[in-house]
Amino acid sequence: MARRALPPALAGLEPKIVWKHFADLLRIPRCSGNEAGVRAHLEKFAKSKHLKAERDDAGNLLLRVRPEAPGPVVCLQGHMDMVGVAADGVQHDWTADPVTPRRDGDFIYAEGTTLGADNGIGLAFAMAMVDEQTGPLEILCTVDEEVGLTGASAMKPNWLQAKFLVNLDSEEESSLTVACSGGRDMVVTLPWPRAARTDGRETVAIRVKGLRGGHSGIDINKGRSNANQVLGRVLAEVARLGGALHEVAGGVKRNAIAPNANAVVSLPAGKGDELKAAAEQIQRECATASDPDLSIETAPGQTDLPPVAAEASERLVRLLEKLPHGVLKSTSHNPDLPFVSINLALINVVDDKLTVIMSGRSPVAGELDALETRARAIAAEHGATFKTENGYPGWAPNYDSPLLAITKRCYEQQFGRPPTLLEIHAGLECGIIGSKHPGLDMISIGPDLHNPHSPQEHVSISSAQRMYKLVKDLVAELQRS
Ligand SMILES: [Zn+2]
């Protein structure tokens, strides 16, 4: 391949082969959905090394490196796409412009944009390992990781011959990732018929707001309030006061803890103050240390919609009382890590139907099945229909894994301390790739990488050097095993 001078920010960094490949990747625009250029670059690299490169229908790429070499095949895996975000005021054409690296002490940033070390540094590691002339290796480069793991999802099954897979998309040197959650969305639908209007009532708008919200996997164990549940308590008070529900909506997206929820109700004349007092009481109870800014506003409102039939709104109140939210089980070895959780994400009304959407997570499919059974039963009890959507497989931890034992040994030899073992409560490509390759022994590692998906993204130079050595030692050990 053509030799080019390294950009000044990367000059002199070790290991040279890693940073050379990383520099090449920085020149190629590669946001999700636009991986043709980076794939062509990898295919050209494969050709220059006389390697077989295979592409599947989804656009994922697999390089087979010295398959005839002795020892078990080790797959090194990363994703080709990146998240392209430019800082305010920075013009960047993500289909044409290169990313310009900038060095600050031990860190490489980009000038005004995301760096794409997520996952460019992982790909650079894998390419450098090809240069090391070891084998047998498989280099698996996926597309569209950043847009819901869809490249891995569409990957052809049993493509790999590898016995071990090392995913290079983790972001903390101190830990090895050994599991990730699978997920399943659950949709509960209530009939939402309208009734006749009653005259002489006061209309009140209810706004639950100021909650922290957060990611439904990573932040679910932080004890935060859920605006949909808070609104449910207020709606129970509305029902107690003889009120009727006209409008209701809550949450922002499936993978976010609901930070806000709203309703418009009508009350018998003179009951507005009672509702206000009840809302203030609920606000005092819910605005805890985890959500100090939670507020529940009740104000004179307006609506063009007639009230919802009393039976339907009562069912919604009961549903919001019964449907679970939060961490339901923790992992056996760490009470801080969620093992099974569910997010009561969204309340939506479309035409004459109301839907409540929840997203469940667990590394173990049987746990998601049990959660689904429970939610389905609650839905049935309240006259609602139930369906699941968007399921993806998890990666259950295997603490007896030979790959884990060898990785821990290499890690302790190099760092002089044991690694933390991380079970991520969010989806990773390992879950999906593992489901297509039964028995594949997997781990996920990577150098310290901060603020991914933002213009502040930066990767540690010294950590990349240490973690590349770990990968090299690990592959050598595995091939001796
Ligand atoms: Zn990534």
Same fold across 8-181+396-480 and 183-392: no
Output the six-digit token pair for 63: 């390089």
Nearest residue to 296 via CA among 238, 355, 347? 238
- 253: CA distance to ligand 1 center in Å? 21
- 301: CA distance to ligand 1 center in Å? 45
Helix/strand number for the chain, H first, E second: 11, 21
Catalytic residue list: 81, 145
CA distance to 75, 165, 336, 444, per residue, from 182 (Å): 22, 18, 18, 16
Q: What is the pLDDT of residue 3?
A: 63
The answer regarding whether domain 8-181+396-480 maps to CATH 3.30.450.40 reads no
Sequence-ordered list of residues with C-beta below 8 angstroms from that of 247, at least 6 positions apart, any chain:
262, 263, 264, 303, 305, 349
Q: Tell me the residue type at 141.
A: C
The full set of domain ranges for the chain reads 8-181+396-480, 183-392
The answer to whether the beta carbons of residues 397 and 178 sit under 8 Å apart is: yes
Q: What is the pLDDT of residue 2?
A: 53
- 116: CA distance to ligand 1 center in Å? 9
Classify residue 246 as left (phi > 0), alpha (psi -120 to 50) or beta: alpha
The answer to whether the beta carbons of residues 30 and 99 sit under 8 Å apart is: no
Q: What is the pLDDT of residue 316?
A: 98
Strand partners, 360: 184, 342
The answer to whether the beta carbons of residues 138 and 62 sit under 8 Å apart is: yes
Q: How far apart are CA 275 and CA 295, in angstroms?
A: 14
- 175: CA distance to ligand 1 center in Å? 16
Q: What is the pLDDT of residue 333?
A: 77
Q: How far apart are CA 214 and CA 219, in angstroms?
A: 6
Q: If you search the block for the tokens 């190629």, which residue do you land on?
A: 28
- 145: CA distance to ligand 1 center in Å? 7
Q: What is the pLDDT of residue 242?
A: 96
Burial class (CB within 10 angstroms; exposed 0-12, middle 13-18, buried 19+) of 373 = exposed
Q: How far apart are CA 215 and CA 150, in angstroms?
A: 19
- 252: CA distance to ligand 1 center in Å? 24
| Helical spans, DSSP H, in 92-156 | 117-131, 150-153
- 12: CA distance to ligand 1 center in Å? 26
The answer regarding whether domain 183-392 maps to CATH 3.30.70.360 reads yes
pLDDT in tens, the chain (481 residues): 556 789 999 999 999 999 999 999 999 999 999 999 999 999 999 999 999 999 999 999 999 999 999 999 999 999 999 999 999 999 999 999 999 999 999 999 999 999 999 999 999 999 999 999 888 999 999 999 998 899 999 999 999 999 999 999 999 999 999 999 999 999 999 999 999 998 899 999 999 999 999 989 889 999 999 999 999 999 999 999 999 999 999 999 898 999 999 999 999 999 999 999 999 999 999 988 889 999 999 999 999 999 999 999 999 999 999 999 999 999 887 888 899 999 999 999 999 999 999 999 999 999 999 999 999 999 999 999 999 998 899 999 999 999 999 999 999 999 999 999 999 998 899 999 999 999 999 999 999 999 999 999 999 999 999 999 999 999 999 998 8
The answer to whether the beta carbons of residues 225 and 412 sit under 8 Å apart is: no
Burial class (CB within 10 angstroms; exposed 0-12, middle 13-18, buried 19+) of 158 = exposed
- 2: CA distance to ligand 1 center in Å? 28
Residue 135 CB coordination number (10 Å): 21
Helix, strand or coil, per DSSP, at residue 355: strand
Entry pTM: 0.86
